Structure 1
Amino acid sequence: MTEPGALPAYLQISELLIRDIAAGRLAEGQRLPPERQMAADQGVSVVTLRKALAELERRDLLERRQGSGNTIRMGQDARGLYALFRLELLTGGGLPRAKLLDLAKTPKPEDIPDIGSKADFAWRIRRLRSLNAQPVAVEEIWLDGRFATDIRAEELSQSLYLYYRENLRLTVLRAEDRVGIGPMPGWVPADLGLPPGTPAGLVERRAWSQQNDPAEFSRTWFNTSHARYVARIS
């Protein structure tokens, strides 16, 4: 069954490959397996796989030659939809997925930084995050209410920033992350394998809109036995 808000299959595959390129799991000049083998490994048709590879070629990340196979290139456009999702598997990469745990319209709490003063409420979004189907983190996101008077859970995309851009006319211009350690929240599901109060990696993020105004604040608690925070400078 398709997950709610899931990206099309070809985009999931292209995003996975983009993250593997960024993590160094796929190197310049490396030849990919035959297309039929890759399609079988990903559980998709060859047509879908080729659509994913065409997306990489469009980004100058893949060289495709008839009869010679597909070879990785280190192009300039290695930023995928999950470019700002900084968690990776310990071995690198991993396709991010999200399971919505709770969506609430609520007054802004006093313990978060400024996310805008044009609305007296915020949207609180709690999600379980996975990499390659391995649960690795939970996140609590606070989005300023000025961007939407109504948000429906079934409409949320796996990529919130894509949802923001396409539905709320909000583009995250920049973000600031502060990484530390904090106790798992009381609402953490058993899927993560860490009970409430357990020390975990903690990422606190502030995000700004295309007008350079505060827009969002989030906390992400992650299981350091399965994932790590990675920021690359190029």
Structure 2
Amino acid sequence: MPSPTFSPLYRQIKDFLIRSLEVGEWGPGDAIPSEGELATRFSVSQGTVRKAIDEMAAENLLVRRQGKGTFVATHDDPRSFYRFLRLVSDDGTVTHTVSDPFSCELQSATPEVASVLGLQVGDRVLCVERLLRFNGEPVVFDQIYLVADLFAGLSLEKLRGGERSLYSLFESDFGVRMINAEEHLRAVAADPYSAGLLGVPEGSPLLLVERTAYTYGNKPVEWRRGLYCTRQHYYRNDLG
């Protein structure tokens, strides 16, 4: 008979806090109660609450602000723009990045898309196509598949409006916050369609980055296939 799984007390408090975020008790950008108030609420020590909050801050769920308190992380924070984007210019300079969406349409989920997003084959998904331009040059071609029921009303016009990142738009207009992501990388050759969009010869080497993004409860809500042109950029990932 398997033994019951033990969860440390601070992890239990963390789970309670995450559920509170998921149901909207505190929204993106809101201040959460103090450690003392939370300790009283859960009948635990402040040290236990602090450990739970420390872990959530490390996972970008919460943000500590010196002298102000602890706040729910938000994609509206400019520091969170393109949070998962790991492409860096070869010379290390900061480049001006612009999202240029050019297609947004309902599709039926293929077996591959359905498997990643936890849907049935044929369920409705939204497919967004866009270019990411670095200093005006197309560098990334994204095909983004979204669970359609979560993004009712999303249109190309809405995607093109303003200077917000996609994740900021998803958070503020649809109440969907991307918490974490998983990526798979491989080298591929540019097909005629992507070559034309990125301005490279057909067959040129590109980096394919397949990313699944999750919201609260580890629910997959977005799958994207990004084709990265690395002629003047490299993919950087900080480990540890």
Describe the SS at the equivalent of 1:146: helix
Match of 1:227 in 2: 233
Percent identity over the alignment is 24
1:89 and 1:131 map into 2 onto residues whose CA distance is 9
CA RMSD of aligned residues (A): 2.7
Match of 2:143 in 1: 140
1:185 and 1:128 map into 2 onto residues whose CA distance is 16
- Assess, with a 3 A threshold, how the Cα gap between structure 1 residues 170 and 129 changes in structure 2: closer, same or farther: same
Describe the SS at the equivalent of 1:111: helix
Greater alpha carbon shift after TM alignment, 92-101 vs 187-196? 187-196
Ranges in structure 2 where 5+ consecutive residues have no aligned partner: 1-64, 67-76
1:125 alignment partner, one of 99, 124, 128: 128
In the alignment, structure 1 residue 154 sits paired with structure 2 residue 145: no
Describe the SS at the equivalent of 2:177: coil
- Assess, with a 3 A threshold, how the Cα gap between structure 1 residues 101 and 78 changes in structure 2: closer, same or farther: closer
2:202 and 2:153 map into 1 onto residues whose CA distance is 31
In the alignment, structure 1 residue 88 sits paired with structure 2 residue 88: yes
Per-residue deviation, residues 109-141 of structure 1 (Å, max 9, x unmatched): 223342133891111011111112222111111
Q: Which has the larger radius of gyration?
A: 2
In the alignment, structure 1 residue 194 sits paired with structure 2 residue 200: yes
Amino acid at match of 2:185: V
- Assess, with a 3 A threshold, how the Cα gap between structure 1 residues 231 and 121 changes in structure 2: closer, same or farther: same
Asked if the contact 1:89/1:131 (under 8 Å) is kept, the reply is: no
Asked if the contact 1:185/1:197 (under 8 Å) is kept, the reply is: yes
1:177 alignment partner, one of 183, 191, 196: 183
TM-score by length of 2: 0.59
Higher helix share: 2
Asked if the contact 2:141/2:197 (under 8 Å) is kept, the reply is: no
Describe the SS at the equivalent of 2:218: coil
2:202 and 2:125 map into 1 onto residues whose CA distance is 24
Asked if the contact 2:187/2:205 (under 8 Å) is kept, the reply is: yes
2:118 and 2:148 map into 1 onto residues whose CA distance is 9
In the alignment, structure 1 residue 206 sits paired with structure 2 residue 212: yes
Per-residue deviation, residues 78-109 of structure 1 (Å, max 9, x unmatched): 94312211122222332221111211110012
Please report how far the alpha carbon of residue 188 of structure 1 lies from its aligned counterpart in structure 2 after TM superposition: 2.3
1:151 and 1:114 map into 2 onto residues whose CA distance is 21
Describe the SS at the equivalent of 1:99: strand
- Assess, with a 3 A threshold, how the Cα gap between structure 1 residues 146 and 229 changes in structure 2: closer, same or farther: same
Please report how far the alpha carbon of residue 196 of structure 1 lies from its aligned counterpart in structure 2 after TM superposition: 4.3
Asked if the contact 1:136/1:226 (under 8 Å) is kept, the reply is: no
Ranges in structure 1 where 5+ consecutive residues have no aligned partner: 1-58, 61-76
Alignment size in residue pairs: 161
